[in-house]
Amino acid sequence: MRTTKLVIAMVMMLSVSAYAAPLRDHPATDMGAGWRLGTQAYTFNRFTFFEAVDKAAQIGLDWIEAYPGQRLCKELPEAKMHHTMPAGQRELVQKKLAESGIRLVCYGVVGLPNNEEECRRVFNFCKIMGIENIASEPPEDAFDLIDRLCREYRIAVAIHNHPKPSHYWNPDTVLKVCQGRSKWIGACADTGHWMRSGVNPLEAVKQLQAEKRIIYFHLKDLNEFGIRNAHDVPWGKGKANMPLILKYLAESNFRGVFSAEYEHNWLNSVPELQQCAKFFNQASWMLKPSGWKPLLKDDLSNAQFKPGSWTLENDVLARQGGGYIWTKERFGDFILDLEFKVVKGANSGVFIRTGNLRDLVQNSIEVQIHDTGDGATHGDCGAIYNCLSPSKKVTKPAGAWNHMTIQAMGPMIYVVMNGVQIIDMNVNEWDTPHKNKDGSRNKFSKAIKDMPREGFIGFQDHGQPVWYRHVRIKKFN
């Protein structure tokens, strides 16, 4: 009996520790558990890789797949995204990704010949960059070498299927070369190219997934089936039967990356990709719920606000003037993930756990939103307003999007901004009215520890333009 109680106590301690752990990085707000939605940078092959990263962030994606040969950035017109790029250029890529909150997880389609030196160049690059999956169409005699390198580096090689007459257009051929190989060898399932080859994508997915050989996807939906020059359309509007593909993958417990590779409307594909992401996320919430959801509905029907004072279009919440906007739902313990943008000198704030909207200042905690600060004590951007300054100033210049994650767990408040944890606050240490932990004075007539631990989430109208986008929440009570 005593042993049983000890075990239970230890489990509870571990659970509390995991539950209240500091948030040291932005979470990936994937709507489907085990499903990671990203984009193949080839979608934006008329642009640089850095521009592709910006477009992925605009769509609200956390993941990206690079391909060899894309121009790197406007500042280095001769530089290419490639596994042979020099260290200095790799570091620029890593910096750009970190600043954008995007993770590079896949690379391809790239050649992997039956030549160890050449293959190691690719694998070494992927290891340095944190890439998990390589898409390739290797010669069949290279798979002994490739499988060995996959196991050594713990990086998967996914066999891609360009349309017929390419070698791997038929899933039968992919399964043949996978036979007897490790789990690191599988398919990069390109649903659009199967359609161009006259292969039913749902049946191909079932065939490969039955053997657990799908590593990740180049996800496409086309306007026609069996036609080489068919083009991409927003997911769910084409001939791929996308709802059934996703339903089957959920039922078969597929876990992995979905790279949106949109090969149409090359110069202005972002609006269509936003439709793809919306379709995918809505399907994911139903099929593989992860706990993440949009904080506000598209029509703002779950919000409290003066009509016309805020708009929500293409996942961007914009202040129009006329007051704050609040959730109708109350939240206690949660992770809130968002991006914000302000004009020069603008001021706003994210209010959390607001218990009383009629006396919101004395009944909530505000995370300050500003391009710099408003001159108040503890008033810099990212501060717990009038209580605790950020440990570092990491705000981007006015007009740029900033990525912020707010985590409230019991007495603990954490804020991460642009990849840096800037707030680690235990409100129980603010135990005196009008007094902060550091001894400075604040405006609150009760101790911060006595503020509500549950309440509405709101965005402040302080008289200047402000925009929020990709506002997602995961609640724990």
Under DSSP, the state recorded for 461 is -
The residues with which 36 forms a beta bridge, in sequence order, are 257
pLDDT at 4: 38
Domain final position from 267, 290, 313: 290
Number of domains in the chain: 2
Q: Residue 14's pLDDT is what?
A: 35
What number of other Cβ atoms are within 10 A of residue 47's Cβ? 18
Q: Rounded CA gap, 125 and 69, in Å?
A: 14
Is the residue at 228 inside a domain?
yes
Burial class (CB in 10 A: 0-12, 13-18, 19+), 215: buried
Indicate the residue type of 315. D
Task: Provide the angle, in degrees to the nearest 10, between the axes of the packed helices 87-100 and 49-59.
Answer: 20
Both 116 and 170 in one domain: the answer is yes
Say whether both 65 and 32 belong to one domain. yes
* pLDDT per residue as tens digits for the range 144-157: 999 999 999 999 99
Q: Are residues 318 and 190 in the same domain?
A: no
pLDDT over 70 percentage in the chain = 94
On whether both 374 and 445 belong to a single domain, the answer is yes
Dump pLDDT digits (tens) for 456-468.
999 999 999 999 9
pLDDT in tens, 188-223: 999 999 999 999 999 999 999 999 999 999 999 999
Contact 123, 107 (CB under 8 A): no
Which CATH number fits the domain that encloses residue 391?
2.60.120.560
Shared domain for 134 and 99, answered yes or no, is yes
pLDDT exceeds cutoff 60 at 19: no
3-state SS assignment for residue 246:
helix
Read off the pLDDT of residues 115-141 as tens digits, 9 standing for 90 and up: 999 999 999 999 999 999 999 999 999
CA angle 125, 129, 132 (to 5 degrees): 90
Is the pLDDT at 18 greater than 60, yes or no? Answer: no
Please give the average per-residue pLDDT across 397-413, as a whole number: 95
Instruction: Please name which of 168, 284, 190, 289 lies closest in space to residue 240, comparing C-alpha atoms.
Output: 190
8-22, 112-126, 362-376, 388-402: least confident range: 8-22
> The CATH number of the domain where 135 resides is what?
3.20.20.150
Average predicted confidence (pLDDT) for the chain: 93
Which is it for strands 347-354 and 316-319: parallel, antiparallel or unpaired?
unpaired
In this structure, what are the phi and psi dihedrals at residue 344, rounded to the nearest 5 degrees? -60, 125
For the segment 327-380, what is each residue's pLDDT rounded down to a tens digit?
A: 999 999 999 999 999 999 899 999 999 999 999 999 999 999 998 766 777 889
Looking at residue 210, what is its pLDDT?
97
Mean pLDDT of 312-331: 96
For residue 271, with 0-12 CB atoms within 10 Å meaning exposed, 13-18 middle and 19 or more buried, which class applies?
A: exposed
- At residue 297, what is the residue type? K
- pLDDT score recorded for residue 22: 64
Q: Give me the domain span that covers residue 463.
A: 303-475
| 144 belongs to a structural domain | yes
Choose between 263 and 12: higher pLDDT: 263
Contact 389, 398 (CB under 8 A): no
CA–CA gap between residue 302 and residue 304 (Å, rounded): 7
Q: Are 361 and 280 contained in the same domain?
A: no
| Residue 69 included in any domain | yes
Task: Extract the tokens encoding 44.
Answer: 């934006």
Chain centroid to Cα 94, Å, comes to 16
CB atoms within 10 A of CB 96: 17
Q: Where does a domain end: 244, 264, 290?
A: 290
For the chain, give percent helix, strand, coil, nearest 5: 30, 30, 45
- Find out whether 394 and 417 touch, Cβ atoms under 8 Å: yes
Q: Whole-angstrom Cα distance, residue 103 to residue 28? A: 9
Question: Quick one: average pLDDT of 27-49?
Answer: 96
Q: Is the pLDDT of residue 170 over 70?
A: yes
Q: How confident is the model at residue 228 (pLDDT cuts 50, 70, 90)?
A: very high
Residues 278 and 355 in one domain: no
Same domain, 257 and 402: no
**CB burial class (10 A; 0-12, 13-18, 19+) of residue 281?**
buried
Tell me, yes or no, whether 243 lies in a domain: yes
Q: Spell out a b/e string for 431-457, using b for 16 or more CB atoms within 10 Å of the CB, else e.
A: eeeeebbeeeebebeebbeebbeebbb
- The verdict on 224 and 308 lying in the same domain is no
In a domain, 4, yes or no: no
pLDDT of residue 2: 38
Question: Are residues 196 and 73 part of one domain?
Answer: yes
SS3 of 317, please?
strand
pLDDT of residue 379: 87
User: What angle is formed at CA 375 by the lines to CA 370 and CA 379, rounded to 5 degrees?
Assistant: 55
Q: At residue 13, does pLDDT exceed 60?
A: no
**pLDDT > 90 fraction of the chain, expressed in percent and rounded:** 91
CA 27 to chain CA centroid, nearest Å = 7
